[in-house]
Structure 1
Amino acid sequence: MKPIKSVAAIHDLSGYGRCSLSVISPILSVMGVQAVAIPTAVLSTHTGGFGEVVMKDLTEFVEESLSHYKRIGLDFDCIYTGFLGSKEQIKHCLDYIQAYPNALAVVDPVMGDNGKTYRTYTQDMCSSMVELVKAADLITPNKTEMYMLLKKPYNPTPLTQQEAKSNLLKLSELGPSKVIVTGIELADMTINNIAYDRDSNTFWRVICSYVPASYPGTGDIFASIVVASILDGDSLAIAMERATRFLELTIKTTYSYGTDTKQGVMLEKGLIWLTQGHSLNGYQNL
């Protein structure tokens, strides 16, 4: 038994704006997991409204790092991927998953939001992302990415319980045994994070509080908490609720200060919550 589990986190690193590796690394660390940062690119800020960003592409670094890790016999308990800048980077992520077949493979398929594909994502990249999803054990798309992966037109209307379950099942049929979809409005007019665990054939939901603001990096925070929770032995339902409740706390805290949303959430104000072993029982069967 390794005293500390390790995660190969393949994401970009934005210097300002609290997203990607700048939030992933502290969350994994405070939850008792070693974060091995494998940056796909380094940016001066995230790309959401700070003008012309300084960016250095690190595609070759991702490939060469894997070769180094294999040479020295380094092992990982989890391969965790997020925003990727090219089809070549997606291929390198597949190489990581194939090199560590016993590691939990977690893919956050960051392709779009609010019904639109991110401008950097081509159709060719979206097709390659489907191949990466097929190799995953767990995926964490948002509503927009759910429809993209299923090759369905985006539907902004609330889903019935049966529609939600059907979409979860179809995502799992692509490959992953565990699926979480975030930000789903159901017909009972609640906003939910929903999940399916094929190993136990169970569907779950966690109802989310609504705050009238949107912050970058929340998807990275959510998926990182889920990763660390599952590596610590939590069930999918408990991991999803832990991530949901932490985000509620940090988003409400940030909103109360009225800071510019481009700065992201005040992660520093809430990190200690993740160390306190809260009892969670707010998850429900879907």
Structure 2
Amino acid sequence: MSKKIAVINDLSGLGRCSLTAAIPVLSVMGVSPCPLPTAVLTAQTGYPSYYCDDLTDKMDIFTEEWKKQEVAFSGIYTGFLANTEQVDKIFHFLDAFYNEDNFLLVDPVMGDNGETYPIFTDTFLQEMKRLCEKADILTPNLTEACLLANSDYQQFTATTNPDGLLDQIATLGRKLLNKPNKHVIITGIHLEIDQVPSMGNLHVYQDGCNFSSYPCVHGSYSGTGDLFASCLTGGIARGEEIKDIIETAAQFIGKSLIDTKADNTPTREGVNFEQNLGMLISRFSKS
């Protein structure tokens, strides 16, 4: 029986993010994505104009209908939430489907590059903290990790030494390890390695941390976090070691970013990942 992942995220018509990133990535990894949309948008929120249809009042319907089908999920993955009320809807979903035989991965979508997104409020942050405490795997970017840990983002921009910066970020990540066997992966870390601009992900866990990186492609592209979290979710569902799937995700996203830059794709249109899905097919058809 194929493994199923409940993907609680938005559907954006333009921007290659959220469900339009998660569905193809999970599918080629041999895992069945089961979308529970939090909102339907004409375009991701980085576009100058977009329409958002908030689906808060539909979320419990999905939960109750899936309960009737007695569905069992290998994992639950949450992404973009349209408002604070949706956290309660997710907890209702978790009461029905989250158990000791699966896992919860939370991608706490709140901001990037030191700035918060339009949905952000202090109340939203408090609700997101509540959800993140429940998670087994947490994938914030540096901005989101600072928000969750009540830390100042600017302190990380002042450090130029790569080892010193990673030590600081590891300390930040440990503040979010609120339960045994939790994994925090802080994504999209910009730094120079041997004078080469790089981007990487720092995996922090109870017994230590690991850093993986790839050459940086300048520009903040929509959906990179979604691609990473989707790869991670699929790999964990398949029983992969987290450090191994992080490396695979980095290679896949790094190559896709190089192609995106070469094609002069506007950053708001997201990453040209489709032509590199074969990397994941090749990797996971052998395991």
* TM-score normalised over the length of structure 2: 0.90
Amino acid at match of 1:137: D
2:277 equivalent to 1:276: no
Instruction: State the partner residue of 1:284.
Output: none
* Shift in Å, 1:72: 2.2
Amino acid at match of 1:228: G
Return the alpha-carbon distance in structure 2 between the equivalents of residues 275 and 90 of structure 1.
33
* Shift in Å, 1:73: 1.1
Pair 22,14 (structure 1): closer, same or farther in 2 beyond 3 Å: same
Return the alpha-carbon distance in structure 2 between the equivalents of residues 175 and 67 of structure 1.
31
* Shift in Å, 1:127: 0.5
2:10 counterpart (9, 12, 34): 12
SS at structure 1 position matched to 2:176:
helix
**Any idea what the Cα deviations from partners look like across 1:185-213, whole Å, max 9, x if unmatched?**
45867542100233xx1311002211112
SS at structure 2 position matched to 1:91:
helix
Amino acid at match of 2:158: T
Pair 70,151 (structure 1): closer, same or farther in 2 beyond 3 Å: same
Amino acid at match of 1:20: S
Question: Aligned pairs, how many?
Answer: 273
1:184 counterpart (186, 189, 196): 189
Return the alpha-carbon distance in structure 2 between the equivalents of residues 54 and 17 of structure 1.
13
2:252 equivalent to 1:246: yes
**Any idea what the Cα deviations from partners look like across 1:224-260, whole Å, max 9, x if unmatched?**
0011111111111111111111110101011111122
Return the alpha-carbon distance in structure 1 between the equivalents of residues 120 and 84 of structure 2.
9
Amino acid at match of 1:11: N
2:39 counterpart (38, 41, 50): 41
Amino acid at match of 2:147: M
* TM-score normalised over the length of structure 1: 0.90
SS at structure 2 position matched to 1:239:
helix
Pair 18,161 (structure 1): closer, same or farther in 2 beyond 3 Å: closer
* Shift in Å, 1:175: 7.3
Kept in 2, the 8 Å contact 1:161–1:187? The answer is no
Kept in 1, the 8 Å contact 2:174–2:205? The answer is no
1:208 counterpart (210, 214, 217): 214
Return the alpha-carbon distance in structure 2 between the equivalents of residues 218 and 161 of structure 1.
21
1:169 counterpart (147, 153, 174): 174
Report matched runs for 1:106-125 at 5 Å.
106-125=105-124
Return the alpha-carbon distance in structure 2 between the equivalents of residues 117 and 175 of structure 1.
29
Instruction: State the partner residue of 2:201.
Output: 193
Kept in 2, the 8 Å contact 1:133–1:175? The answer is no
Return the alpha-carbon distance in structure 1 between the equivalents of residues 169 and 119 of structure 2.
28
2:221 equivalent to 1:223: no
Amino acid at match of 1:84: L
2:64 equivalent to 1:64: no
Kept in 2, the 8 Å contact 1:206–1:244? The answer is yes
Amino acid at match of 1:167: L
Q: Which moved more, 1:140-149 or 1:186-195?
A: 186-195
SS at structure 2 position matched to 1:276:
helix
Amino acid at match of 1:182: T
RMSD: 1.8
Return the alpha-carbon distance in structure 2 between the equivalents of residues 268 and 116 of structure 1.
29
Return the alpha-carbon distance in structure 1 between the equivalents of residues 51 and 166 of structure 2.
44
Return the alpha-carbon distance in structure 1 between the equivalents of residues 122 and 26 of structure 2.
32
Instruction: State the partner residue of 1:78.
Output: 75
